[in-house]
Amino acid sequence: MKLKIAVLPGDGIGPEVVKQAIKVIKTIEKKYGHKIELLEGIVGGEAIDKYGDPLPDETWKLCEESDAILLGAVGGPKWDNLPGEKRPEKALLKLRGGFNLFANIRPIKVFEKLSFSSTIKPEVLKGVDFVIVRELTGGLYFGKPKEIRVENGEEMAIDTMTYKASEIKRIAHVAFKMAQKRNKKVTSVDKANILECSRLWRKIVDEVSKEYMDVNLEHMYVDNCAMQIVRNPKQFDVILTENTFGDILSDEAAVITGSIGMLPSASLGEGTKGLYEPIHGTAPDIAGKNIANPLATILSVAMMFRYSFDLEKEAKDIENAVDKVIDSGYFTQDLFTGNPYAKQLVSTEEMGDLVCKIIEGGA
């Protein structure tokens, strides 16, 4: 298969973890005889420094030409004081909004040997395997007006939360379809006791659910869901939620997996083009030290093969290799300390090499 991937490493640990993901892509290319072109582009803080724009036109064009986009992470203290429009994170919103990538898929899976790296008791975590389907192009992050203004001599800030029925409908279909392939349960998360957006959300989700009679639907308030994720995460199969709630809940769920360095994500639209990125940020505290965990980015590549290229075998091959590395007790720093299964501390580079070696069949 001939494929084009836009590769945007970004800032901080972004380039370090993306480098490992590229090794994995090349290993898969060779093993399965694909022809994969990697088009590297500049994004985030680095792009601000060079072009004064977090997503320069040439990077946008490169993404337009590609079948899928792989992104590391953007941002860092150096750019923290820039105005909203000029900040590195604006590049993410532009990519998601520009390509209409409205569905963010975040699998939360517990690797048994990592359950000791989590702050939650291992017996609570055993067998946890759910997916968060987060609406990504609506709600509070995109609603207008969005500004800071002065009224009666005092500064005030406004963010606006809006949702159209069509936006809720299309993301609900994504969640129900996903549940059909899994354990047939959708938990729709909202704040319908307070927010009008949530009341519409609940009504539309109920309507959509009638097309999926084989899927069991439950509604849950977001505050309760935040508690249930750490109290009894096994109850979930597919969590469907809006933009802001999904952002917060998926970071909370990261605790379950033992490290934020283990969580991949895919952002999808109506077509096959998708944006694939780890859910973590640029980790300025560990950047440049070759200690970051690259597995979230590598697992994001597996999602790319599954969702954008429809190459399930290749996706599974990558996921199995990650399973095997974890099973053998080779851990990066974030997973190593305090884990009784930890055998060998490995660097970012070494972790990338180990995954490739297993894919090649050499380990």
DSSP 8-state assignment for residue 194 = T
Site string for ligand NAD, 334-353 (x = CB under 6 A): x-------------------
Tell me if 106 is assigned to a ligand binding site: yes
Report the residue from 264, 274, 281, 352 that binds ligand NAD according to the rule CB under 6 A.
281
User: Pairing mode, if any, of strands 238-241 and 103-109?
Assistant: unpaired
Options 11, 53, 190, 247, the catalytic residue: 247
Q: What's the Rg (C-alpha) of the chain?
A: 20
- Range list of β-strands (E), the chain: 2-10, 35-40, 68-73, 103-109, 129-135, 143-151, 154-160, 185-190, 216-221, 238-241, 264-268, 274-278, 330-331, 344-345
Query: What is the number of other CB atoms lying within 10 angstroms of the CB of residue 333?
Result: 18
Q: Measured between alpha carbons, how far apart are the two ends of the chain, in Å?
A: 26
CA–CA gap between residue 115 and residue 117 (Å, rounded)? 5
Cβ nearer to ligand NAD, comparing 75 with 138: 75
Restricted to residues 250-279, the positions that interact with ligand NAD (CB under 6 A) are 259-261, 277
Tell me if 182 is assigned to a ligand binding site: no
- Is 176 within 8 Å of 208 (Cβ atoms)? yes
Cβ nearer to ligand NAD, comparing 92 with 186: 92
To the nearest whole angstrom, how small is the minimum distance from the Cβ of residue 281 to ligand NAD?
Answer: 2
The sign of the CA dihedral 280, 281, 282, 285 is: negative
SS3 304: helix
Tell me if 199 is assigned to a ligand binding site: no
Report the residue from 74, 168, 240, 351 that binds ligand NAD according to the rule CB under 6 A.
74
327 as an active site residue: the answer is no
Options 251, 324, 353, 357, the catalytic residue: 251
User: Pairing mode, if any, of strands 238-241 and 185-190?
Assistant: parallel
214 as an active site residue: the answer is no
Tell me if 82 is assigned to a ligand binding site: yes
Residue owning tokens 């936006």:
167
Cβ nearer to ligand NAD, comparing 168 with 291: 291
Tell me if 327 is assigned to a ligand binding site: no
To the nearest whole angstrom, how small is the minimum distance from the Cβ of residue 113 to ligand NAD?
Answer: 17
Site string for ligand NAD, 34-73 (x = CB under 6 A): ---------------------------------------x
In sequence order, the β-bridge partners of residue 70 are 7, 276
Tell me if 84 is assigned to a ligand binding site: yes
141 as an active site residue: the answer is yes
Give helix 312-327 / helix 295-307 axis angle, nearest 10°.
160
Cβ nearer to ligand NAD, comparing 139 with 281: 281
Report the residue from 283, 354, 358, 359 that binds ligand NAD according to the rule CB under 6 A.
283
Cβ nearer to ligand NAD, comparing 13 with 48: 13
Known binding-site positions: 76-89, 96, 106, 134, 223, 247, 251
- Catalytic residue positions, numbered: 141, 191, 223, 247, 251
Known binding-site positions for substrate: 96, 106, 134, 223
